[in-house]
Amino acid sequence: MKIANRDILGLISKPNPNYRAYLFYGQDSGLVREHARKIALHFTDQIDDPFSVSQLSGQDVAGDKTLLPDSLNELPAFGGLRLVMLSGMGTEMTEAVKIGFNSLHDKARLVIEARDVNTRHALVKFCDQHAYCASVGCYQDDNRSLSDLAQQVFKRENIQISRDTLSLLVSRLGIDRAVSRQEIEKLALFAGSNGQLTEEDIYNALGDSGAVVGDQITIAILNGNVKQFKQNYSRSQQDGQPPISILRQILSLFKNMLSARLTMETGQTSTAAISTLKPPIHFKVKPVVTAQLSKWTSGQLTEMINRLISTEIQMKTKGTINPSTLTGQTLLGIVLRSRNLNR
């Protein structure tokens, strides 16, 4: 049964006893793993306990079609539930899961991690059709879910953070759930229990992340510096930074610039207009944005925003060209436009 987005957190915190199998799939491998482990801990105290938990890979079950049903039918050494954790490529696991579902019973639970499939995959379609299987899509975090994650961690440690500082943090996090959680936990450790986080803390604590390269890309784009852009974009890809995170950072920048430009059109100076933006623009980028704002019209900024949104849609379309190449081409086009405006 497909689980709606609004019901996922409820399922993770309190699983429905009618579900005997759980499929977690999607683009965000960190979120897939996180949800799978949280569900598993409802059925065992230790996921690595070999006496009550079987850990299987897609390759394991693809090579032996009886392995999954045998594991589900194996009785736990000390009573309770038998938990089977299955992780791998969707294509490797589909046939084994179809066979294994025939062996599901009220004393067994199956948790599946499939990080390479989407809603059209045969494995997902099969699990969606079964009332005793919860099928959960795990997609890259948007700003709201990242904000919720951060607030959850900070509330746990009784850490104080203002709304503006939280917005700044979210704007500088990436889209991988596991990496974002690591960064948030690092900040919680930095602040300490009953502590407080400021905007300066966010800049200092996350200063060694991909956001630094992102700022350099931003500066190159606004200055119309083709060479600097190519160097920093290549570096970001070599470092493994997801292209979509860079695309969204530039999209957020141009949305902020449009907001500031519209404010300027009411008679405000560029400095005053930028000071109203939430989250605030990074101090390293702020002088460049201030200088460039008067060179862009609201119409030109809107055009760039639409181009960036269109690129993100293309990236999510099956069969599109390499996301890194697509993002690089789009951003290079904006760099060239900016270069013309700076002449």
The pLDDT of residue 170: 82
Would you state the structure tokens that stand for residue 39, as one six-digit string? 């569900």
Q: How does pLDDT run across 245-289, given as a tens digit for each residue?
A: 788 889 888 998 999 999 998 888 888 888 878 767 777 788 899
Of all residues in the chain, what percent are helix, strand and coil, respectively (each to 5)? Answer: 60, 10, 30
Helix (H, G, I), strand (E, B) or coil at 2: strand
Q: What sign does the dihedral 159-160-163-168 (CA atoms) show? A: negative
- Of 195, 203, 212, the C-alpha closest to 280 is 203
Length of the chain counted residue by residue = 343
* pTM score: 0.53
- For residues 88-96, give the mean pLDDT: 92
What pLDDT band is residue 176 in, cutting at 50, 70 and 90?
Answer: low
- Residue 52: pLDDT band with limits 50, 70, 90: confident
- Tell me, what DSSP letter sits at residue 296? S
pLDDT of residue 113: 95
Kindly report, residue by residue over 103-122, the tens digit of the pLDDT.
999 899 999 999 778 888 99
- What was the pLDDT predicted at 147? 85
The maximal CA–CA distance of the chain, rounded, in angstroms, is: 76
* Mean pLDDT computed over every residue of the chain: 87
The token pair at 229 is 């852009």
* Token output for 24: 């977690």
Domains in the chain, start-ordered, CATH in brackets?
A: 5-137 (3.40.50.300), 143-205 (1.10.8), 210-341 (1.20.272.10)
